[in-house]
Amino acid sequence: MIRSMSKPIEQAIKTKITGAFQPVHLAVKNDSSKHAHHAGLRGATNVTESHFRLTIVSDAFAGKALPARHRMVYTLLDEEIKEKGVHAVQLKTKTPTEWEKDPKDL
In a domain, 52, yes or no: yes
- Listed as ranges, residues in the chain with pLDDT below 70 are 1-6, 33-48, 106
Total structural domains within the chain: 1
In a domain, 7, yes or no: no
In a domain, 57, yes or no: yes
In a domain, 42, yes or no: no
Model confidence over 64-88: pLDDT tens digits? 999 999 999 999 999 988 888 888 8
In a domain, 26, yes or no: yes
pTM here? 0.81
Residues 39 and 3: their CA atoms lie apart, in Å, by 34
Full domain range(s) for residue 71: 14-37+48-101
In a domain, 77, yes or no: yes
Residues 71 and 73: their CA atoms lie apart, in Å, by 5
Residues 51 and 88: their CA atoms lie apart, in Å, by 5
Cα–Cα separations (whole angstroms), residue 26 to 13, 14, 31, 64, 97:
11, 8, 16, 18, 15
Strands 51-57 vs 25-30: parallel, antiparallel or unpaired: antiparallel
Query: Which residue from 80, 59, 63, 71 is spatially nearest to 15, judged by alpha carbons?
Result: 80
In a domain, 79, yes or no: yes
- Quote the pLDDT of residue 37: 53
Residues 71 and 88: their CA atoms lie apart, in Å, by 14
In a domain, 8, yes or no: no
Look up the CATH number of the domain holding residue 85. Answer: 3.30.300.90
